[in-house]
Amino acid sequence: MGSIDPPKAEQNGTAAAAVADPGQKPGAGDAMPPPPPVKHSNGTAAEPDVATKRRRMSVLPLEVGTRVMCRWRDGKYHPVKVIERRKLNPGDPNDYEYYVHYTEFNRRLDEWVKLEQLDLNSVETVVDEKVEDKVTGLKMTRHQKRKIDETHVEGHEELDAASLREHEEFTKVKNIATIELGRYEIETWYFSPFPPEYNDCSKLYFCEFCLNFMKRKEQLQRHMKKCDLKHPPGDEIYRSGTLSMFEVDGKKNKVYGQNLCYLAKLFLDHKTLYYDVDLFLFYVLCECDDRGCHMVGYFSKEKHSEESYNLACILTLPPYQRKGYGKFLIAFSYELSKKEGKVGTPERPLSDLGLLSYKGYWTRVLLDILKKHKANISIKELSDMTAIKADDILNTLQSLDLIQYRKGQHVICADPKVLDRHLKAAGRGGLEVDVSKLIWTPYREQG
């Protein structure tokens, strides 16, 4: 299950830092500021003496697992853990660059850094993780601890410890740093298992219409002269203004479906890469202009789901984030469920951003109905009206303290002032789906 509207992209399309507070960090394309002077704990500037320089050299090269302070693009030092290292100059035994994880933030910020970005005075020896957690846990404020907890195992709630370690080991280093898609260059967030022949590429070039990817700009330019697609290779099932939705059958368009999965995995940490895309339908949202239909995001769903999943994976591409497209995609998935005459629910596990978006959607939809509905209404009736699964309705209302258990049954307590407060906290609903513009036949009814 993928993320929805990840943190805001810069105006030039470069993906911005994905943290809980996106306004806190500058854009990924910003130049690295000069390093501030290293300071002692008392705040005074420290001039490195000979002994200090010797100590710094004695810790090199840094071992994998080392904890150290690293200068980020905001010019400030943040705690990191060395995940991997690679040799730069074979003639210099200490000339490495290091792949680091910023321990305060999500893995999507992991990156390769140069030695000069690291404060070698702050190097900590590798210690037992459990002992370290106990020690550092005492030093952290509750806000810091919660921030780490929220980002540490995002989207992996259903994985056991061994599976989580295996996943993180296999995907610990981003293999593709940036991609070019249409008029945007986008920084990637996570590892994606591209074929082995792309192992030496830090940047890939995607055709924005067929999603074929290439190693060099010249290859893309030659391809674009031959590619006759101007929209995803499927049926247009929705058009409202400049927005369009295409349904792509994974069986009929296997290469496109696989390429879309490769692309999406660069921005989704825990997504399973489906090589067998025959079983899925992909709903690709586009912004349309005179040059064609440009992919904004997508969601996928199984053609036949025994668990009533109406959505398997969802993503808004970084340049189009914070514009309401993620909320639109969620709403669209439920409109399809209504057309099918079924209740639906997203496939688990949800990412942190995915869960927030769904909770917001469920809250807005349910509370809007409760505000307008004067008489008593049951969970079953709410489910029939919204196509939201009863369990999701119950959990949402319970989290808002709107459910009481009386005489052996759940009762909804809808005080208008409380509803208004929760609706305000849930935020705006985003772009609305104009159901009159949806022309679609459920898969089971298709010839």
pLDDT tens digits, one per residue of 119-144: 999 998 655 444 444 434 434 444 43
Q: Select the more confidently predicted residue: 102 or 94.
A: 102
CATH topology for 178-437? Aminopeptidase (3.40.630)
How many whole angstroms from its chain centre is CA 367? Answer: 27
How many whole angstroms from its chain centre is CA 117? Answer: 27
Same fold, 59-124 and 178-437: no
Q: Select the more confidently predicted residue: 36 or 405.
A: 405
Residue 5 has pLDDT above 70, yes or no: no
Res. 241 pLDDT band, cuts 50 70 90: very high
Give the pLDDT of residue 90.
Answer: 83
Residue 207 has pLDDT above 60, yes or no: yes
Give the pLDDT of residue 158.
Answer: 46
The C-alpha atoms of residue 361 and residue 216 are separated, in whole angstroms, by: 41
Q: Which residue has the tokens 């020690």?
A: 135
Residue from 225, 254, 108, 239 nearest 172 by CA: 108
Res. 56 pLDDT band, cuts 50 70 90: low
Q: How many CB atoms lie within 10 A of CB 265?
A: 25
Give the pLDDT of residue 271.
Answer: 67
Res. 162 pLDDT band, cuts 50 70 90: low
Give the pLDDT of residue 125.
Answer: 62
Give the pLDDT of residue 55.
Answer: 63
Tokens of residue 214, six digits = 């290439």
∠ CA 248-284-150, rounded to 5°: 125
Residue 66 has pLDDT above 90, yes or no: yes
Find the range with the poorest average confidence among 6-20, 35-49, 407-421: 6-20
Q: Which residue has the tokens 């119950």?
A: 394
Q: Is the CB of residue 442 less than 8 Å from the CB of residue 339?
A: yes
Find the range with the poorest average confidence among 39-43, 47-51, 160-164: 39-43
Give the pLDDT of residue 91.
Answer: 81
The mean per-residue pLDDT over the stretch 10-19 comes to 35
CATH topology for 59-124? SH3 type barrels. (2.30.30)
* Residues with active-site annotation: 347
Give the pLDDT of residue 165.
Answer: 62
129 φ/ψ sector (left φ>0, alpha ψ -120 to 50, else beta): alpha
Find the range with the poorest average confidence among 10-14, 158-162, 163-167, 252-256: 10-14
For 207-349, list the strands marked E by DSSP.
Answer: 213-214, 235-240, 243-249, 280-289, 292-302, 309-311, 313-316, 345-346
**Any idea where the domains of the chain sit in the sequence?**
59-124, 178-437
Residue 18 has pLDDT above 50, yes or no: no
Q: Is the CB of residue 286 less than 8 Å from the CB of residue 321?
A: no
How many whole angstroms from its chain centre is CA 368? Answer: 28
Residue 206 bridge partners (DSSP): 181, 213
The mean per-residue pLDDT over the stretch 151-175 comes to 58
The mean per-residue pLDDT over the stretch 73-78 comes to 92
Tokens of residue 148, six digits = 């780490």
Give the pLDDT of residue 204.
Answer: 97
Tens of pLDDT, residue by residue over 409-428, are 778 888 888 898 999 888 88
The C-alpha atoms of residue 270 and residue 355 are separated, in whole angstroms, by: 14
For residue 201, what are the CA distances in angstroms to 175, 188, 208?
8, 13, 19
Q: Is the CB of residue 238 less than 8 Å from the CB of residue 254?
A: no
Residue from 73, 83, 105 nearest 6 by CA: 105
Which are the contacts of 217, defined by CB distance < 8 A and separation ≥ 6? Answer: 180, 205
**Is it true that the peptide bond before 61 is cis, omega within 30 degrees of 0?**
yes
